[in-house]
Structure 1
Amino acid sequence: MEKETKQNSATQIKVFKALADPIRLAIVTYLKQQDHEVTCGEVGAVVGISKTSGTYHFKLLQAAGLITARKVAREKYVQLDPTTFEQYVTDFYKNL
């Protein structure tokens, strides 16, 4: 049980660190408005970041479990993972 608690705490820290950045928060806000997968390029254009910067931010969001990503040929498609938000953000107070 203690190992699971430590793992949940580590994940929760990743989630909140990912959400603490204004660019990543803008990415999450944009993705929340979408009801389907979108390309990283589309998100980058809307948020106003370079491809290199986008790659960095998407990697952190994915590592925190906040987005899912899949690659098709040269395009990468992303969307929010609502289960992570529900578990670590919505129920944050309950999980303490």
Structure 2
Amino acid sequence: MMKGQWTSLLGLANRARKTISGEELAVKEIRSGKAKLVLLAKDASANTHKKITDKCNYYSVPYRLVEDRYILGKAIGKEARVVVALLDDGFARKMLMLLD
């Protein structure tokens, strides 16, 4: 997996205001059907990991694990972030291509 490419794409999606970060906001977007793809840091707590993956599975939202919270946060120009949801089909599809 090319780290540079997916983080650049996430940065672009963020600038286009097509991302949401943080556990509670992500869960809300998953429930509402707006989240098209969820990125979850591998170093998320077991509790957060379960909550997010359960929600994604229940609402049929794809998710991918990424290295850690610092890479995820840095990609969207913030401090550490454990969960980032993409709210755009195009960005989500391209991201899945880069991460799979």
**Scaled by the length of structure 2, what TM-score is found?**
0.35
TM value normalised by structure 1: 0.36
The higher relative CO (CA closer than 8 Å, separation ≥ 6) is in 2
Bigger-Rg structure (1/2): 1
